[in-house]
Amino acid sequence: MARLGSQVAFLNAGGYHHHVGANTWESRGASPPPPGTAALRQATILLPTREELDRVLARVTASGQAPSQNAAEPIVRDPSGKPLVLATG
């Protein structure tokens, strides 16, 4: 939905202002969290329709990333390599 250079992105689905904000202010270049510590290890992004999911997958593919697949949903990776499961609801 909106970006501030390579530092901040506000993500949305269906034209709504923003559902998720992400930034690199504290994590750029950081090491992965040690095993056994609290951390976001995976997230699921719920998209409203299959058409919206296909649109997101096309944008991810156009950016040079090849989505993988679990049993039912595609998986993409954020810049730090964390898996983001894409689903519809």
* Model pLDDT, residue 25: 72
d(CA 24, CA 40): 14
* Model pLDDT, residue 57: 92
Q: Give the CATH H-level superfamily of domain 39-89.
A: 2,3-Dihydroxybiphenyl 1,2-Dioxygenase, domain 1 (3.10.180.10)
**Each residue's pLDDT tens digit, 2-28:** 666 677 888 776 676 667 777 777 666
* Model pLDDT, residue 28: 66
**Each residue's pLDDT tens digit, 36-63:** 998 888 889 888 899 999 999 999 999 8
Enumerate the domain spans of the chain.
1-30, 39-89
d(CA 56, CA 58): 5
Task: Tell me the CA end-to-end span of the chain in Å, nearest whole number.
Answer: 20
